[in-house]
Amino acid sequence: MASEKPIVVVTCTAPVNIAVVKYWGKRDEELILPINSSLSVTLHQDQLKTTTTAAISRDFTEDRIWLNGQEEDVGQPRLQACLREIRRLARKRRSNGHEDPLPLSLSYKVHVASENNFPTAAGLASSAAGYACLAYTLARVYGVDSDLSEVARRGSGSACRSLYGGFVEWQMGERPDGKDSIAHQVAPESHWPELRVLILVVSAERKPMGSTAGMQTSVETSALLKFRAEALVPARMAEMTRCIRERDFQAFGQLTMKDSNQFHATCLDTFPPISYLSDTSRRIIQLVHRFNAHHGRTKAGAGLGAPGGLHGACFAGGSLPSSPRFLKGLPVEPILLSDELKAALGMDPVPGSIRYIIATQVGPGPQVLDDPGAHLLGPDGLPKPAA
Ligand code: ADP
Residue by residue, DSSP assigns 93-156 as HHHTTPPPSSTTGGGSEEEEEEEESS-TTSSS-HHHHHHHHHHHHHHHHHT--S--HHHHHHH-
Q: Which residues line ligand 1 (CB under 6 A)?
A: 50, 67, 114, 116, 120-127, 130-131, 134, 210-211, 306
Expressed in angstroms and rounded, the spacing between residue 264 Cα and the centre of ligand 1 is: 22
Spacing, Cα 155 to ligand 1 middle (Å) = 9
Look at residue 1 in the predicted model and tell me its pLDDT: 47
Q: What is the pLDDT of residue 307?
A: 40
CA–centroid distance, residue 112 to ligand 1 (Å): 14
Give the residue, by CA position, lying nearest to ligand 1 atom 10: 121
Tell me: pLDDT of 171 over 80.
Answer: yes
Percentage of the chain exceeding pLDDT 90: 72
Dist CA 94 CA 369 (whole Å) = 26
Q: Report, as an integer, the average pLDDT of 119-130.
A: 90
Find the mean pLDDT for residues 158-163. 98
CATH 3.30.70.890 location in the chain: 195-361
Which atom of ligand 1 is found nearest the CA of 128? 4
Closest ligand 1 atom to residue 126 Cα is 3
Among 3.30.70.890, 3.30.565.10, 2.40.10.120, 3.40.50.300, name the CATH number for the domain at 195-361.
Answer: 3.30.70.890
Q: How far is the CA of 71 from the centre of ligand 1 (A)?
A: 14
Exposure on the CB side of residue 243, measured as CA atoms within 13 A = 21
Distance 159 CA to ligand 1 centre (A): 10
> What does the pLDDT read at residue 323?
67
Determine the pLDDT at residue 335: 74
Q: What pLDDT is recorded for position 12?
A: 98
Over the stretch 262-271, which tens digit does the pLDDT of each residue have?
Answer: 999 999 999 9
Strand partners, 184: 169
Which mutation among 66, 73, 126, 153 tests ligand 1's pocket best, with the greatest number of atoms within 8 A of CB? 126
Stronger pLDDT, 140 or 314, i.e. the higher one: 140
Distance 120 CA to ligand 1 centre (A): 6
Going by alpha carbons, the residue nearest to atom 17 of ligand 1 is 127
| For the CA of 116, the nearest atom of ligand 1 | 23
pLDDT value of residue 306: 44
Q: What is the pLDDT of residue 103?
A: 56
What is the amino acid identity at position 335?
I
Closest ligand 1 atom to the C-alpha of 78?
16
- The rounded distance, in Å, linking the Cα atoms of 249 and 115 is 34
Q: Is domain 8-189+367-374 in CATH 3.30.230.10, yes or no?
A: yes
Is 100 a residue whose pLDDT tops 70? no
User: Residue 211: helix, strand or coil by DSSP?
Assistant: helix
Q: HSE of 386 in the Cβ direction (CA atoms, 13 Å)?
A: 7
DSSP one-letter code for 189: G
Query: What atom in ligand 1 is closest to the CA of residue 123?
Result: 2
Confidence grade of residue 5 (pLDDT, cut at 50, 70, 90): low
Highest-scoring range by mean pLDDT, 85-94, 96-105, 151-160, 325-334: 151-160
Q: What distances in angstroms separate CA 162 from CA 36, 89, 152, 243, 261, one per listed residue?
A: 17, 20, 9, 20, 23
Say how many Å lie between the CA of residue 68 and the centre of ligand 1.
Answer: 11
Pocket test for ligand 1, best of 127, 207, 212, 304 (most atoms within 8 A of CB): 127
Question: Band of the pLDDT at 202, cuts 50, 70, 90?
Answer: confident
Query: Taking Cα atoms as reference points, which of 213, 196, 209, 306 lies closest to residue 260?
Result: 306
Residue nearest to atom 23 of ligand 1 (CA): 130
Mean pLDDT rounded to a whole number for the chain? 90
Please state, in angstroms and rounded to a whole number, the distance separating the CA atoms of residues 375 and 387.
12
In this predicted model, what pLDDT tens digit does every residue of 300-355 receive, in sequence order? 776 654 444 454 443 333 334 456 678 899 998 777 778 888 888 888 888 888 99
Among 33-37, 192-196, 341-345, 373-377, the least confident range: 341-345
User: What is the residue with the minimal CA distance to atom 26 of ligand 1?
Assistant: 130
Which numbered atom of ligand 1 lies nearest the CA of 211? 7
Q: Is the backbone of residue 269 left (phi > 0), alpha (psi -120 to 50) or beta?
A: alpha
Mean pLDDT, residues 188-213 taken together:
88
Between the CA of 136 and the centroid of ligand 1 the distance, in Å, is 16
Ligand 1 centroid to residue 108 C-alpha, Å: 25
Ligand 1 centroid to Cα of residue 191, in Å, is 29
Task: Specify which residues 52 forms β-bridges with.
Answer: 12, 114
Helical pair 77-95 and 126-142, crossing angle rounded to 10 deg: 30
**Rounded to two decimals, what is the model's pTM?**
0.93
Task: Return the H-helix or E-strand segment holding 42.
Answer: strand 38-42
pLDDT in tens, 355-373: 999 999 999 999 999 999 9
pLDDT value, residue 208? 75
pLDDT band at 124 (very low <50, low <70, confident <90, very high): confident
Amino acid at 82: C
Considering the chain, tell me which residue range(s) the CATH 3.30.230.10 domain(s) occupy: 8-189+367-374
What is the structure's pLDDT at 314? 38
Residues 6+ apart with CB under 8 A from 138: 54, 82, 83, 86, 110, 112, 144, 151
Is-contact 50 126, C-beta < 8 A? yes
pLDDT digits (tens, 9 = 90+) for 235-263: 999 999 999 999 999 999 999 999 999 99
CA atoms in the 13 A half-sphere facing the CB of 321: 13
